[in-house]
Amino acid sequence: MTGRGTNTYVLGHGEGVVVIDPGPADRVHLDQVELLARGRGTAALVLLTHHHPDHAEGARDLADRLGAPIAAIAHEHAPRLDRVLVETTFELPGLSLRVLPTPGHTRDHACFVWEQESAVFAGDLVAGEGFIVIDPPEGDMTDYLASLARVRDLPAGDARGPRLLLPGHGPAIEDPSGYLAGYIAHRLQREEKVRAAMPIDGWRSLEQLLPLAYDDTPEVMYPVAARSLEAHAIKLVREGRAETSGGLYRRLASRRIG
């Protein structure tokens, strides 16, 4: 599920070198990251966008090699953290990095906003290719959509929204507002398909809903789609647009407001 691998970012210089998402515990990869970081100066921070092993497994080894603290939002499956992140801004030489909690993919997910460049290190909020898996109960579709909107709406000088997204997987995204709008529209369209697949006068299981709500998706992707389907179903129930009983779901008529 990592595409061509995980992107590790090394930025800053002098006393303020930062490594974002060291990646898996792959010796050759960590050697290269260490070399890159040392070439720029002294490592001040190893940052994690979230605890998933493809981003964080190599963090402890790299942090020890570089003598730099690991900082991330707390999570029971995170590597041992030297600093627990909250919403804050790191001021390093020539570099301001703002921590932006963006839960949804995981509870501990954060993006890092490089203020001078209006660039966002996006972790698994978005991928440069394809879509992100939302896997409940860790994954939460309500939070995820709010996090997408939060990054879309970041102030950036006179404009709104960042100039560049640097994801954990796939290439950089140079049209963040269009890309994020597309991501949000994709999820909301899927949510409507999930809701439409739920009967009003009967019940369907998630297994029954899957081929109806994902009729445009190859069957080989069904195990992954099933996780996002459940995330959508949980959100619909939470919003009073569907109800569930004994693992079965049904649609509730739209509530009129006002």
Q: Give burial (CB, 10 Å; 0-12/13-18/19+) of 109.
A: buried
Q: Give burial (CB, 10 Å; 0-12/13-18/19+) of 252.
A: middle
Q: Is 109 in the site for Zn ion (CB under 5 A)?
A: no
Question: Smallest distance, Å, CB 202 to Zn ion?
Answer: 36
Residue pointed to by tokens 């996002």: 228
Q: Which of 21, 26, 54, 108 is catalytic?
A: 54
Looking at beta carbons only, is 124 or 230 nearer to Zn ion?
Answer: 124
- Residue 9 carries which side chain, given as an amino acid letter? Y
Binding mask 187-206 for Zn ion (x = CB under 5 A): --------------------
Question: Smallest distance, Å, CB 99 to Zn ion?
Answer: 17
Looking at beta carbons only, is 50 or 232 nearer to Zn ion?
Answer: 50
Strand partners, 173: 165
- Active-site residue 54, yes or no? yes
Question: Smallest distance, Å, CB 8 to Zn ion?
Answer: 14
Looking at beta carbons only, is 106 or 177 nearer to Zn ion?
Answer: 106
Looking at beta carbons only, is 95 or 166 nearer to Zn ion?
Answer: 166
Residue pointed to by tokens 């896997």: 135
Residue numbers 39-98 binding Zn ion by CB under 5 A = 52
Question: Smallest distance, Å, CB 124 to Zn ion?
Answer: 4
Which residue's CB comes closest to Zn ion? 52
The distance in angstroms from the start CA to the end CA of the chain is 44
Looking at beta carbons only, is 52 or 152 nearer to Zn ion?
Answer: 52
Number of residues that bind Zn ion (CB under 5 A): 2
Binding mask 117-156 for Zn ion (x = CB under 5 A): -------x--------------------------------
Q: How far apart are CA 82 and CA 98, in angstroms?
A: 18
Question: Smallest distance, Å, CB 29 to Zn ion?
Answer: 17
Q: b/e for 162-175, b at 16 or more Cβ within 10 A?
A: bbbbbbbbbeebee
Which residues are known catalytic residues?
Answer: 54
Residues of this chain that bind Zn ion (CB under 5 A): 52, 124
